[in-house]
Structure 1
Amino acid sequence: MSESTPRRSILRSGMIVSAMTLLSRVLGLVRDIVIAALVGAGGAADAFFIAFKIPNFLRRLFAEGAFNQAFVPVLSEYVEQKTQQEVQRLVNAVAGCLGLVLTLVTGLAMLGAPLLVWLFAPGFSQSPDKLALTADLLRMTFPYLLLISLTAFSGSILNTKDRFAVPAFTPVLLNISLIAAAWGLTPYVSEPAVALAWGVLIAGVAQLSLQLPFLAQVGLLPRPQLVWQHEGVRRILTLMTPALFGVSVSQINLLLDTVLASFLVDGSVGWLYYSDRLVELPLGVIGVAIGTVILPTLSRQHASADQERFAVLMDWALRMVILVGVPAAVALILLAEPLLATLFQYGAMTAHDTAMAAMSLRAYALGLLAFMLIKVLAPGYFARQDTRTPVKVAIKAMIANMVLNLLLIGPLAHAGLALATALSAFMNAGLLAWGLHREGVLKRQPGWGRFILQLLLALVGMLAVLYGLMPEVSQWTRWTLEHRIVHLLILVGSGLLSYLMLLLLTGVRLRHLRGPLH
């Protein structure tokens, strides 16, 4: 067995990832404001967004999706059962094979940039200058896929060694790089979008470079070797195939929603976008964070055949998601208009837009808990190197989402699409939970009755406080920015404080939330 790594509570690790994710999301908002001021919403902005979207889409599909789900369980098993030398050989082989494939893909993409642009944005073909600019920008941004994929590979190694802070902080560098490039490089280039493209490339170099000293610190700095016959490489490739398809299913769902929304009245796509942005905040800060920190530990426990601790950790993750997800969903439903008006209702966005976006936000918020549950239930399969079952479940949920879209889009328009997404997410989470329970992996631990009662009492108190302080919805559209911010902070702060205080009064203590050690 390899040298042991420091052990810390899952809660502490989750809080580290959550804090870094929150920082990244806040800087991402600042980044969007800077980009909007720099390139506006014209043809150059479209060109940059597509040039950035293509490698980013492939990153989500490949590096942080299928590859991570396949690599972490295999690496964790090696760390738990093999010597340090064998772990190093696995890392070297994966680095060599992954690096070669990504280099070839990057080279081909840069050569065929105009074709890629046409596939992702066929409308650009009507404007040769716009198509040419996008292709030029894509040649600058596409190497980001190579760099960020190797960064994700490095981050997976550090996560497996319980070093979560650096991989969680890394996305912050992208936002910092784009902001700095927008301010610092624009005077030296003919087109501001070119400065942003350089910012993407610089971010990729910075993100990968940040990881390397920490990989050396844990004794696993990769020395790439082309060893396709390595047993671990073959297993990772076998696990990646269904995982890649599973990630593709979610992308198909998003594409279908966008296509259907495009047939609705003007503004429907935007209303869904703004409401989705707000739901993504608690999902990323809590759901994704917990899913990230439990996967390496679950993988180790499966490798050591410690099924009891596996079940305890899964139970803890579910309680944490429910403890945060339920009040977050309720707050989004109740504060939909105040949140949207404060953040987005300026310039071209009207009070009508806020009202319409609030409808889809409430529908999405109904599914927030399910979205979070999926993030912590799916690792229960990935850790056991089962990437096929989540794919089967995802396909069933996708079919359900398609049917619900068609049923709900008529009476509820864009909000029907959001509601269909929420309902299909509950189906997805329910099937994942049932499968883990049936296999004896998900076992109910003691204390659930008391936990639910404490949660409900705190929730009722939070609702009472919010209702008591909530001004009339119409006032938010008349207030200035300063008034909106002050009142929103009072509402959010009072609701959060009342929820935490009531949890404390009902007997919840920090020690109850720490979770098992890694």
Structure 2
Amino acid sequence: MSRVLRASAIMAAGTMVSRVTGFVRTAVLAAAIGTFALGDAYNVAYTIPFTLFDLLIGGVLSSVVVPMIIRRQQADPDGGRAYEQRLMTIGFVALTLLAVVAVALAGPLISLYSTDWGPRQTEVAVRLAQFILPQIAFFGVGAIAGAILNTRDRFAAPMWAPVLNNIVMIGVAVVYYVKLGGAGTDVDTISDADLALLGLGTTAGIVAQCVVLVIALHRVGFRFRPRFDLRNAGLGEMGRTAVWTFAYVGISQLGFLVTTKLATGAGERAPGAGNAAYAYAYQLFQLPYGIIAVSVITAMLPRMSRGVAEGRLETVRAEFSSGVRLISVLLVPAGLLLMVLGPAVTVLIFSWGNMTVDSAVYIGNVLQVFGLSLVPFSIFQLLLRVFYSFGDTRTPAFLALGNVTVNATLSVIAYFTLPAKYIVMGLAFAFTVAYVVGSAVAWVLASRRVEGLGGRKVAAGLSRMYLASLPAAALALGVLWITQELTGLDALSAAIMLAAGGGLGMVLYLAIAHRMRIPEVSSIVGMVAGRVGR
């Protein structure tokens, strides 16, 4: 566990800075463009390149490419160098072509993800998409570079590179707001030059991120040389393995499409309570997952893949067991605190510029619902890596089908039964239920694959973590109530709630968990104490 903890701590430091600057980026961008027509248009245009990348390339990287690179590193005489060069060549060419095609089809893509938009809002979204979609090529090349770095156990650069992206985007959003002020949210008056500032600025951040990753890859000895001898590229093996990954990603994106269309429709019925609110809440929900779980998951997959390649199932079980305990020990209190302090988080971040306190509170209400899903969502992602380490992409595809079916069904029910203002909150609840069910099913299947995952032990550990978290949640709730009674809810009171309720609540949790001898908390406390004592 100590090895995973150290690697995860290094990555978590970079991810922490990345997510904090991402916090600032989201807040500044929301202040500049709001959560109404322009906010919805931008968020749809912004998500399309990531959707296309995940649909065609991204899912293959985590589920197929990393295990295959590791196998080639062990089996090839050159340590897999030629294979990596072929992979980078194929990725660069394919992603460049994808970006060109996507820009040409920006109009149909926007229509696919929007509902009941007027002509001007659609026109603005299409123009933004044309400026943003070229980032597919740069984002993809950077992701391939990051995957190769991970196979060399070099995790720092992929975790720190997004910081530069966030800094660039913060600068773009500040310039946009200073230039346009309150008029920056009006789709009827915004010019093509202003849209170019937003769109090209967004792409510039991804370009900077890609450059950092390519430089880091060069520094570890990788030398890119275009190789088109694809006969030795292992495309047949990759294709057979990846076909189910494409199915998984396609099914997942179908679910995302349903959610986006329902959220944009909700925004037309209740302005300010649409896709932008869902997108901002989801980004904040991803903060603790990104800082804690992604770091552990990234460190786990190469080690589990090596364990499978060497026929050591006990290594897979040990890596998974340590991983699930490490992420849960911090995500359990984080989820409960989000459920209590969600509006305080969003008021502090979003109640500036062209945003109102009411709009910020609504995003916080959606975030509270997402807090329920933090632990099951993260465990589900860990479970998928068990299958990926075996080269099994078929089982995750069927798990995705079940997830999307549950999520889409509940989302449609929410859309047609809830008042317009509560639809997006209903979509977040549908997401939560889908991952609770999906995690239970995935656990049973993964446990059979590795001959046991210690479910009773994990359940007992989670129960103790939740028990230790309840006083922290109660403290945060008390601070929230007292502060609201004395001052109301504004940015200053929200900061007090987060500092006193969130900060002291987490300290209280760690103290109680340490006294309860929860091993993972003791490891964290010991590591921190050791660092401070030096």
State the SS of the aligned residue for 2:234. Answer: helix
Look up the match of 1:466: 476
Superposed CA RMSD: 3.6
> 1:250: how far off?
2.4
Q: Residues 469 and 122 from structure 1, CA distance in 2 versus in 1: closer, same or farther, beyond 3 angstroms?
A: closer
Q: Is 1:164 matched with 2:164?
A: no
Q: Within 5 A, what are the aligned runs for 1:212-223?
A: 212-223=214-225
Q: Is 1:424 matched with 2:438?
A: no
Does the CA contact (< 8 Å) of 2:55 and 2:250 recur in 1? yes
More off after superposition, 480-489 vs 423-432 = 480-489
Look up the match of 1:108: 101
The one-letter code of the counterpart of 2:82 is R
Does the CA contact (< 8 Å) of 1:45 and 1:193 recur in 2? no
Does the CA contact (< 8 Å) of 2:510 and 2:521 recur in 1? no
> 1:421: how far off?
1.7
Look up the match of 2:182: none
More off after superposition, 464-473 vs 208-217 = 464-473
> 1:434: how far off?
0.5
More off after superposition, 435-444 vs 476-485 = 476-485
Look up the match of 2:74: 80
The one-letter code of the counterpart of 1:380 is V
The one-letter code of the counterpart of 2:398 is K
TM-score between the two structures when normalised by the length of structure 2: 0.82
> 1:408: how far off?
5.4
Look up the match of 1:245: 247
Q: Aligned partners of 1:223, 1:163: CA distance in 2, in Å?
A: 21
Does the CA contact (< 8 Å) of 1:21 and 1:284 recur in 2? yes
TM-score between the two structures when normalised by the length of structure 1: 0.84
Q: Is 1:363 matched with 2:369?
A: yes
The one-letter code of the counterpart of 1:507 is R
- Pairing partner for 2:85 from 75, 89, 92: 92
Does the CA contact (< 8 Å) of 2:107 and 2:126 recur in 1? yes
Q: Within 5 A, what are the aligned runs for 1:233-382?
A: 233-261=235-263, 262=265, 266=270, 267-269=272-274, 272-345=278-351, 359-382=365-388
Q: Residues 324 and 417 from structure 1, CA distance in 2 versus in 1: closer, same or farther, beyond 3 angstroms?
A: same
Q: Is 1:54 matched with 2:44?
A: no
Look up the match of 2:132: 141
The one-letter code of the counterpart of 2:98 is V
Q: Residues 342 and 330 from structure 1, CA distance in 2 versus in 1: closer, same or farther, beyond 3 angstroms?
A: same
Does the CA contact (< 8 Å) of 1:312 and 1:445 recur in 2? no
The one-letter code of the counterpart of 2:507 is L
Q: Aligned partners of 1:411, 1:147: CA distance in 2, in Å?
A: 41
Look up the match of 1:154: 145
> 1:75: how far off?
0.7
Q: Aligned partners of 1:356, 1:140: CA distance in 2, in Å?
A: 30
Does the CA contact (< 8 Å) of 2:43 and 2:279 recur in 1? no
Look up the match of 1:4: none
- The runs of 5 or more residues in structure 2 that have no matched partner are 180-190, 525-534
- Pairing partner for 1:483 from 490, 493, 496: 493
- Pairing partner for 2:399 from 393, 401, 407: 393
> 1:316: how far off?
0.8
Q: Aligned partners of 1:475, 1:82: CA distance in 2, in Å?
A: 67
Does the CA contact (< 8 Å) of 2:255 and 2:407 recur in 1? yes
Q: Aligned partners of 2:362, 2:215: CA distance in 1, in Å?
A: 49
Q: Aligned partners of 1:476, 1:57: CA distance in 2, in Å?
A: 45
> 1:407: how far off?
5.1
> 1:241: how far off?
2.1
More off after superposition, 149-158 vs 46-55 = 46-55
Q: Aligned partners of 2:490, 2:402: CA distance in 1, in Å?
A: 47
The one-letter code of the counterpart of 1:12 is R
Q: Residues 226 and 168 from structure 1, CA distance in 2 versus in 1: closer, same or farther, beyond 3 angstroms?
A: same
Deviations 1:313-366 (A, max 9, x none): 011111122212221222122223433443335677667666655554443222
More off after superposition, 272-281 vs 490-499 = 272-281
- Pairing partner for 2:199 from 180, 197, 210: 197
Q: Residues 46 and 281 from structure 1, CA distance in 2 versus in 1: closer, same or farther, beyond 3 angstroms?
A: closer
Q: Residues 511 and 301 from structure 1, CA distance in 2 versus in 1: closer, same or farther, beyond 3 angstroms?
A: farther
Q: Residues 38 and 400 from structure 1, CA distance in 2 versus in 1: closer, same or farther, beyond 3 angstroms?
A: closer
Question: Percent identity at matched positions?
Answer: 24
- The runs of 5 or more residues in structure 1 that have no matched partner are 1-6
Q: Aligned partners of 2:336, 2:355: CA distance in 1, in Å?
A: 25
Q: Aligned partners of 2:208, 2:348: CA distance in 1, in Å?
A: 34
- Pairing partner for 1:173 from 164, 172, 192: 164
Q: Aligned partners of 1:182, 1:271: CA distance in 2, in Å?
A: 18
Does the CA contact (< 8 Å) of 2:110 and 2:122 recur in 1? no
Q: Residues 398 and 48 from structure 1, CA distance in 2 versus in 1: closer, same or farther, beyond 3 angstroms?
A: closer
| Corresponding pairs, count | 504
Q: Aligned partners of 1:14, 1:435: CA distance in 2, in Å?
A: 26
State the SS of the aligned residue for 1:191. Answer: helix
More off after superposition, 231-240 vs 473-482 = 473-482
Does the CA contact (< 8 Å) of 2:406 and 2:434 recur in 1? yes
More off after superposition, 294-303 vs 268-277 = 268-277
